[in-house]
Structure 1
Amino acid sequence: LQSAMAEDANRRQFKARIESEQKTQRVEFSFQEPLRPGEWRLHLSFHGKLNDQLRGFYRSTYKDVLGTQQTLAATQFEATDARRAFPCWDEPDFKAVFATTLVIDPHLTAISNTSVISESVESGKKVVRFADTIKMSTYLVAFVVGRMEATEPVWIGKTPLRLWTVPGKQPLTPFGQDIAAASLKFFEDYYGMPYPGDKLDLLAIPDFASGAMENLGAITFRETALLVDRQTGTHAELERVADVVAHENAHMWFGDLVTMSWWNGLWLNEAFATFMEMLAVDAGKPEWKRWESFSVARAAAFSVDGLVSTRPIEYPVHAPKDADAMFDILTYEKGASVLRMLEQHIGPTVFRDGVRQYLRTHAYGNADTQDLWTALGTAARQPVPELMNGWIFQPGFPLVTAELHGQELRLSQQRFTYLVQEPALEELWQIPIQIRLAVGNRTEHRQLLLTGQETKVGLPDGVTSVFVNEGGHGFYRVRHRAPLLEQLLDQGLDRLAAIERFILVSDTWATTVAGLTTLPEYLRLTGHFKSERDKNVWAVLLDSFSFLNRIISSEDRKDLETLVCHCVKPTIEELGWDTRQGESDLVRQLRGDLLGALGKLGNDAATQQEAAERYRRYRQDPASIDSNVVPALVAILAHTGDEARYDEFLELYRTGSTPQEERRYLFSLASFRHKELLARTLTRTINGEIRTQDAPFIVGAMLLSVYSRDLTWDFVKANWDHMDRLFPKQGLRRMCGGIVGLATPELEQDVRDFFASRKIDLGGKTLEQYLEQLRVSVSFREREGRTIQAALVSAIQHET
């Protein structure tokens, strides 16, 4: 900031003295005499430079079709980085109308939040003026300058919708544009309000720290989250684009039109947009069964929320790093999960009516959590705050224990934690519970709100199985005590929906990690799912095997590989390697997931050999292999690869024809097992060969691998200062999540010593949570270590 001057209504001017604080990017003005109350105009003169930190107004580079490096400028202001681009009151409740004018080189293009109202050439520069925005927060302002190309607009009502890319990538826009158009129309209908902007541009930026950013009218995306080839993209890759596009469109109302008053209410934006993305994608792609696959993301939220060091969804924010730390799985997935639970409890139509009332009441303004509860409670005619405050303002979640006592089902709640706490944590929740009873050939249902420590439910004669959390909408875990679990496994699995089978396995695995269920019990349970065909059930099974792989000794790894092969091979033998007519996208994805697990986690030689042959055919004719199998082939060949294969994949990363192909080969470089090849990958994360948006995630993945974790941890310690300067703060925070893979007592102590000695603070409770997750893994290893091999052998014999 160079100068500041205040001007009163009579145009008298008063120059200000400026005091700046570099760390927070704050300035304070002082004048020689007090300014009288009234209307004033503040004139500011400032300058800056494009940074390389992917925050504020920053520089992004890419190579054009001729291989020449090009530069564009883009913005990322959330949470508190608008002040890095222009002086402003950079807080969400200081809403204002913004009028942007950009003076640029004539051969470049400029995009901002609103439509262009004039364009002229002055003194050899192109001057682009944009229409005034709606009243909105500073963090939503955006401008992008560079060589950019746009699709033809698609009109949704009065709104022109376009996708922007760097030159040469327009062929990758049709799928994203279809999703953007469908979800925008869905939200206009759902919210009962038209889109609040005058146009909607979605821009793919080569360098982008997060997934996307909901700038009103000019949403910016990482390329992998917007651009995809509909023919070669996997189901998971198409699903990611659909999810992120729908999420950002949902924000145009929930976040942009109505904004949280302060950053402690960030969950209002992000959890609701996550919830709405699921609704929109499920409505447009019902065959994807999106709410069922969301259960996997919800399970990841459980893994953090089961920590003693978890936090409430909403908590006080005192500093920018605390706001940045709120962009985590608790804000997004837990927040969306409890909203889904509430929606199912009060009814989807009532919930929608409450949301409409909330948006109408607070349009163009700010609101907090209680405002949302008031609107929903009025629509539902129920005490929503009393029901929901425990889920939002209280850390953790309940474990509901279900036990048979004669002709009664006893339900009790306690806070779930992986590590035993003394004294025990005594929180209570109001828990909407759905129960399904199998009584002979008929099914009965029970619904209740558990508000106290426990309750009892009468059961009819002839009950053969009981399942608690019917439909899987509740954000709680269930421990079905004997004989309830045995009844479900022996005679009730065919009565459970796929999401309920997922919950049964996921909850049992969680109680195993917490020491409430023995490992042999869990491994015997996995044997009941050899005929399973749901990809989400398999996801939790494979995740539990991966956890064991990180904590077992190298001597036990062969037994784990054998168990994985016994579990997975029957399904692969039935599915085969090739798609079949009429097969769903979900089954095709399952095939790829299981082949990858068999070749890597199972270390199956026959699968590895077949993968090499099929990959050779794929390179000759990409259409000969289903796109959902290709990531498995690449992962398996990296796992078994030598230097020649490494060089091949490195070149394919550099020349990838789509963002997804580029990412696939990039992450394969973290999966090789030879130390010298892994060392090359690590060097590339800090020497500029790998984009800083991606490098932290590569390092994090290598910390999680048993083949590279020791080498990577030594690299992180030696290069921490350089990484701290080089990587975006959000990326550095995510990278540190990889320390949970350093699951040996010796590595754990070294990790704690390093972070303590360097006084590293990742914001909020982020580091504390990572360290506790590491402690959970090491505690499991110490508790089960002597019996793991026997448990694996017993499970193998049982499978055989």
Structure 2
Amino acid sequence: MFIKSLLTLSVAIAVSSAHANEYVIEKLAKPSSQHVSLTLDPAQDTFSGMTEISLEVLKPTKYIELNGVDYATQMVKLLGTKNCDLSTEMLKTGKVKFSCDEQIQPGKYTLKIDFTAPYNRQSVGLYKTLDQGVPYLFTQFEMSDARRAFPVFDEPSYKIPFQLTITAPSSQKVYANTPELKTTVNGDMTTHFFDKTPPIPSYLVAMAVGPFEEREVKDMPIPGRIITPQGKIHLGEYAAQAMPKVLAALEDYFGIPYVYKKLDSVAVPEFPFGAMENSGLVTYREDILLLDLATATRSKKQRNISIIAHELAHQWYGNLVTMKWWNDLWLNEAFASWMAAKITTQLNPEFESHLDLPQNNVMALDARLSTKPIRKPIKTEADIMDGLGLAYSKGSAVLAMVENWIGEEAFQQGIRAYLKEFSYKNAEAADLWQALGKASNKDVAGVLKSFIEQSSFPLVKVSQQGKMVTINQSRFTNAGVDAPAQLWNVPVAIKYGAGDQVKTASILLTKENQTIELEFEPEWIYPDQGALGYYRWVLDDKQFAALINKAADTLTVRERLALLSAVDALLDAGVISAAHLMQTLETFISDKHPRVANTALAYLASQKRTFEDASNQHLWPEFIRKSITPAAKQYGLTAKIGEDAAISQLRTQVVSRLGFDGEDQSVINTAKAQARVYLNNPSKVDPYLASTYLNLAAFHGDKNLLDAYMNTFKTTKDPQVRTKMLAAMSYFGKPELQKAVLDYSLTDDVTASDMRTILSGQKYTPEREARLIKWVYTNYDSVAANLPPFALPNLPYYTTAGCDASSLKTTQAFFTDKISEVPGYARSLSKLAEGINTCIALKERELASINSFLKR
């Protein structure tokens, strides 16, 4: 998925200027196929291998370049018209320079290399992990970590067939991208010969070695298995039932059968992301793929289906057709996210996944001046990682907006044409824009380029006089920010009504101002029909009041959810006051759909994190309790048989806010009791409330409870229980227990990919946040060494407290000195400064408004 190398800053800028980048392989040779033979024993700390690469030298040269990190070569030969023993120079740019004393002439050759390397222990490359004390080997090669496992042309444009041969102890099972052709046994070692892959980029090569369990996935057109570490295969039933349905739905949508010879799914106990779409051997973080149906919530089931759909969508978009360069990784991930949402809604409408609005998660980040466009030149791997989460959500939201604009049929027709044209090849974003434009006869490229190649988004102002509506666009900015003027090509859909009449007026807004005539004079206007626009909107006070008055009866649930997010954003923009926002949110706390009430409560609680200080600290608990009372009375604090999952999810918010923010002692006592029950039998505790109970009990817990959490964490074979224990440990409130948890995160019990989870709750309360910050500074070297390499640039976020200028200054002083070691710190410090200064300005501007509201 997305990974950062230890020694490489990354790979490169756009292909057109690749020759100018020291991280890009010099275009002296190109591969046509590669065979890799590895000897892998999970019990050891190192491995050995041999590779043969069929390649063509393109011009006279005395050297050729490949990628490599951490391995050592024993023998390097170039076999062809004139054989040459090559010398090896491993560069700090993630490349290896292989040189010959004599000039190598253009032509076809075989490059043969023997090498050794260590297993990585930070979840990248070919890495080793322990599960219940048993060693396993897994791979995570995206973006640029195949080069840790073997010498390779490790760039996406080098799309070739790979063939793996793996020798391992006979006690171990071995998996790769393709079916096994045969095995040979030599003593206590078995060699596994795997079929050749179709052309794939190196980042999709994968393997796994260990004493796995497996179960067949039936009803697929190709063989498939769920593969798990020991003792967990019974948790794979839900995924095994869902996968054939997801695969069939994708084949139907794309109009192209799944092209690989098998589809294995591996549950990985140490995995830094959700999943990885390796062709034929998809890897998943085990708490996503594996579910105990006795305790699984609807959201866990939805996550399982959605991420399976995401990774399988990649088998077409990303694997069958691959980006030319990393500047289009955003499109790979955006498309798979968009497709996963469509498939999940189609197969499991009961999840109500259509109510997930990805744009709401990222627009606040996208509005900042320090945020880059999601399609941008890529030079270093820090450039790839910068805003990649934004790319998933913004990209998928923009694709949904475009699909709504051109129509589902034209969108599907364009996708199918694109996949057929570029199957087994590389393509770029413009190729997709062209296919969609041709299918729809609309300027798709103009719309997509304006959103993808610019940061931020439009603020659409709608003014109405009679039947005439004037629409104005400007760049959305936070209050007081001076940003360059921008224009977008914006598909705007205005929903409006009067009496029983409801209509929609659509326009492609390409200028600063445009006017349209409605069919009748409206009583109310909602400027984002279907909540599919990637823009914010504003109405005058009279129009806004009319919309709020009609919202419950005239807007869909999705539209009401988008309305809450839009109003919250208007506070940041300085369009409304904090008191006005709070009053609006209170209107929706009793909404007839629990999801809307839940969202309104969450936005209310988020204001506490921004505005709480000595002037109002005593007012917040009572306000939170009062705000939550209607939902608590309506739905109760304990589950009812057969209730809607949205009610259960709302109850989680109610109980959490009552316990943490409202300091309700009866809720705290219940949490303590339920945590003890959970430790003995998780199935006896409401699965929706389990995490809240565990976290709240930890905050008020003692050493005995911490010891119980740690013991359960180390011994459970249920990935969901393990993750809950890990997250709950981060909430222990007493100073000595918090320190014990933080120190525990540096032990071998906690993997690199788990460390972020154990840090997740440490910032709850200013006192605990201060202790975390001191601990990070004191233990910086150990913390930096234990985090996954890609996560290291985010460390400054852990040392900066809230809207605190002094804390920001200390963070800047500490990490600025380390930018030469971790260049990604520079980007993080820039974003932190903007975010905190914006927060400080907001608090100064609106604190009086908040206090006035709280004292009503």
TM-score band by shorter chain is: over 0.9
Q: 2 CA distance for matches of 1:15 and 1:59?
A: 33
Q: 2 CA distance for matches of 1:723 and 1:285?
A: 41
Q: 2 CA distance for matches of 1:555 and 1:53?
A: 45
The alpha-carbon distance between structure 1 residues 764 and 4, as it changes in their structure 2 partners (threshold 3 A), is: farther
Q: 1 CA distance for matches of 2:553 and 2:793?
A: 43
Within-5 A mapping of 1:102-501: 102-157=166-221, 159-293=222-356, 295=357, 297-325=358-386, 328-405=388-465, 407-418=467-478, 420-422=480-482, 424-459=483-518, 463-501=522-560
Residue 762 of structure 1, aligned match among 811, 821, 824:
824
The alpha-carbon distance between structure 1 residues 484 and 224, as it changes in their structure 2 partners (threshold 3 A), is: same
Q: 2 CA distance for matches of 1:71 and 1:507?
A: 49
**Alpha-carbon distance, 1:636 to partner:** 2.5
Encode CA deviations 1:364-405: one digit per residue, 9 max, x unaligned.
010000000011111111121112110111111111122334
Conserved? CA contact 1:682–1:699, under 8 Å: yes
Encode CA deviations 1:41-81: one digit per residue, 9 max, x unaligned.
11112111112121111111111xxxxx1111111111011
Residue 95 of structure 1, aligned match among 147, 159, 162:
159
How many residue pairs end up in the alignment?
781
Conserved? CA contact 2:674–2:685, under 8 Å: yes
TM-score by length of 2: 0.88
SS in 2 for 1:45: strand
**Alpha-carbon distance, 1:484 to partner:** 1.4
Q: 2 CA distance for matches of 1:683 and 1:621?
A: 28
Q: 1 CA distance for matches of 2:240 and 2:771?
A: 43
Conserved? CA contact 1:212–1:219, under 8 Å: yes
Amino acid at match of 2:80: D
The corresponding residue for 1:3 is 75
SS in 1 for 2:817: helix
The alpha-carbon distance between structure 1 residues 282 and 94, as it changes in their structure 2 partners (threshold 3 A), is: same
Q: 2 CA distance for matches of 1:445 and 1:703?
A: 45
The alpha-carbon distance between structure 1 residues 353 and 738, as it changes in their structure 2 partners (threshold 3 A), is: farther
Structure 1 stretch 620-629 or stretch 487-496: which is displaced more?
620-629
Conserved? CA contact 1:225–1:240, under 8 Å: yes
Encode CA deviations 1:333-382: one digit per residue, 9 max, x unaligned.
11111011111111112111111111100000100000000111111111
**Alpha-carbon distance, 1:33 to partner:** 1.6
The corresponding residue for 2:53 is none
Amino acid at match of 1:126: T
The corresponding residue for 1:797 is none
Amino acid at match of 1:486: A
Conserved? CA contact 1:498–1:534, under 8 Å: no
SS in 1 for 2:749: coil
Amino acid at match of 1:54: S
**Alpha-carbon distance, 1:560 to partner:** 1.9
Residue 634 of structure 1, aligned match among 686, 694, 702:
694
Conserved? CA contact 1:4–1:43, under 8 Å: yes
Conserved? CA contact 2:585–2:603, under 8 Å: no
SS in 2 for 1:444: strand
**Alpha-carbon distance, 1:197 to partner:** 0.7
The alpha-carbon distance between structure 1 residues 76 and 440, as it changes in their structure 2 partners (threshold 3 A), is: same
Structure 1 stretch 273-282 or stretch 404-413: which is displaced more?
404-413
SS in 1 for 2:541: coil
Residue 745 of structure 1, aligned match among 805, 822, 826:
805
SS in 1 for 2:142: coil
Residue 526 of structure 1, aligned match among 585, 607, 610:
585
Q: 1 CA distance for matches of 2:832 and 2:557?
A: 31
Residue 595 of structure 2, aligned match among 520, 525, 535:
535
Within-5 A mapping of 1:774-785: 774-785=836-847
**Alpha-carbon distance, 1:704 to partner:** 5.9
**Alpha-carbon distance, 1:545 to partner:** 1.9
Q: Which runs of 5+ in 1 are unaligned?
A: 64-68, 795-800
**Alpha-carbon distance, 1:308 to partner:** 0.8
Q: 2 CA distance for matches of 1:769 and 1:543?
A: 23
The alpha-carbon distance between structure 1 residues 461 and 198, as it changes in their structure 2 partners (threshold 3 A), is: closer
Amino acid at match of 1:254: Y
**Alpha-carbon distance, 1:632 to partner:** 2.3
Conserved? CA contact 2:796–2:825, under 8 Å: no
The corresponding residue for 1:39 is 108
Conserved? CA contact 2:413–2:439, under 8 Å: yes
SS in 2 for 1:568: helix
Amino acid at match of 1:304: L
The corresponding residue for 2:30 is none
**Alpha-carbon distance, 1:622 to partner:** 4.9
For the pair 1:59 / 2:128, whether they are aligned, the reply is yes
SS in 1 for 2:116: coil
Q: 2 CA distance for matches of 1:560 and 1:569?
A: 14
SS in 2 for 1:557: coil
**Alpha-carbon distance, 1:701 to partner:** 3.6
**Alpha-carbon distance, 1:657 to partner:** 4.4
Amino acid at match of 1:107: S
Structure 1 stretch 401-410 or stretch 95-104: which is displaced more?
401-410
Amino acid at match of 1:35: I
**Alpha-carbon distance, 1:664 to partner:** 1.2
The alpha-carbon distance between structure 1 residues 398 and 541, as it changes in their structure 2 partners (threshold 3 A), is: farther
Conserved? CA contact 1:703–1:713, under 8 Å: no
Q: 1 CA distance for matches of 2:600 and 2:375?
A: 28
**Alpha-carbon distance, 1:698 to partner:** 2.6
Encode CA deviations 1:497-527: one digit per residue, 9 max, x unaligned.
1111111111111121232211111111122
The corresponding residue for 1:20 is 90
Amino acid at match of 1:109: K
The corresponding residue for 1:564 is 624
Q: Which runs of 5+ in 2 are unaligned?
A: 1-72
Q: 2 CA distance for matches of 1:739 and 1:765?
A: 15
Q: 1 CA distance for matches of 2:585 and 2:87?
A: 70
The alpha-carbon distance between structure 1 residues 149 and 256, as it changes in their structure 2 partners (threshold 3 A), is: same
**Alpha-carbon distance, 1:168 to partner:** 0.3
TM-score by length of 1: 0.94
Q: 2 CA distance for matches of 1:726 and 1:613?
A: 34
**Alpha-carbon distance, 1:227 to partner:** 0.9
The alpha-carbon distance between structure 1 residues 274 and 555, as it changes in their structure 2 partners (threshold 3 A), is: same
Structure 1 stretch 307-316 or stretch 620-629: which is displaced more?
620-629
Q: 2 CA distance for matches of 1:754 and 1:785?
A: 30
Q: 1 CA distance for matches of 2:679 and 2:100?
A: 70
Amino acid at match of 1:571: A
Q: 1 CA distance for matches of 2:203 and 2:568?
A: 41
Q: 2 CA distance for matches of 1:609 and 1:704?
A: 19
**Alpha-carbon distance, 1:544 to partner:** 4.6
The corresponding residue for 1:689 is 749
SS in 1 for 2:661: coil
The corresponding residue for 1:66 is none
Coordinate RMSD, CA, aligned: 2.1
Amino acid at match of 1:279: K
Conserved? CA contact 1:505–1:537, under 8 Å: no
**Alpha-carbon distance, 1:740 to partner:** 6.3
For the pair 1:587 / 2:659, whether they are aligned, the reply is no
Conserved? CA contact 1:104–1:125, under 8 Å: yes
Encode CA deviations 1:124-173: one digit per residue, 9 max, x unaligned.
4100000000101001001111111111232412x112110011001110
% same residue: 28
**Alpha-carbon distance, 1:621 to partner:** 6.3
For the pair 1:727 / 2:796, whether they are aligned, the reply is no
Q: 2 CA distance for matches of 1:170 and 1:318?
A: 42
Encode CA deviations 1:660-716: one digit per residue, 9 max, x unaligned.
111112111222322222111111111333222111233244246534211111111
SS in 2 for 1:549: helix
